[in-house]
Amino acid sequence: MEHGSFEDPSKATFSFTDEDHTLANAVRFTLNQDPRVTFCGYSIPHPSDARVNIRVQTTGDPAREVLNDSCQDLMLICQHVRGTFDQAISKFKAEKGLSPMDIKK
């Protein structure tokens, strides 16, 4: 859900249900890394509600697009983390001469 104005799409607050610090803090990081962002922050209005508000203000681009790009960035980062991690694990296992762990054991 987006709360913004029609006149100025460069500033908006996005409200996500069923999300918390986990996503909001990570997205705030990727947003902050984007030079188009002049301000961003998040808040959890009430601890009993599973809801988080993310505020994005940009230098001119629509806030929606900038947030979208930030999420894409975060996804790319995650994919890279996963790839690197898997490589490191298989390298470690190969060095130790371990066979892949049998989870049905």
Partner 1 sequence: MGSPTESESMDTESISTQGESIDSPKIAKISVWDLPDVPQGKLPPHLELQRTRVMCDFLAPTNTQNIQYSGAYASMGVDNSVQFEQFRNNFKVEVVRLDDDELEFDMIGIDPSLANAFRRILIAEVPTVAIEKVLIANNTSIIQDEVLAHRLGLIPIKVDPRLFEYMSENDVPNEKNTIVFKLHAHCEKGGDRLRVLSSELKWLPNGSEFILGTESQASNSSAKPKTYTSFSCSQDSLPEFSNGPIAPRDADIIIAKLGPGQEIELEAHAVKGMGKTHAKWSPVATAWYRMLPEVVLLRDIEDDEAEELVKKCPVKVFDIEDIGKGKKRATVARPRACTLCRECIREEGWDKNVAVRRVKDHFIFTIESTGALPPEVLFTEAVKILEEKCERVITELS
- Would you call 69 helix, strand, or coil by DSSP? helix
Cα diameter, the chain: 63
- Residue 42 belongs to what H/E stretch? strand 37-43
- Of 7 and 18, nearer to partner 1 (C-beta) is 18
Written as six digits, the tokens of 91 are: 């390298």
Binding-residue pattern over the window 56 to 85 for partner 1, x denoting contact by CB under 8 A: --------x--xx--xxxxxxxxxxxx-xx
- Of 45 and 78, nearer to partner 1 (C-beta) is 78
Shortest separation between residue 85's beta carbon and partner 1, angstroms = 5
Binding-residue pattern over the window 18 to 47 for partner 1, x denoting contact by CB under 8 A: -xxxxx-xxxxx--xxxx-x----------
Written as six digits, the tokens of 19 are: 């999300």
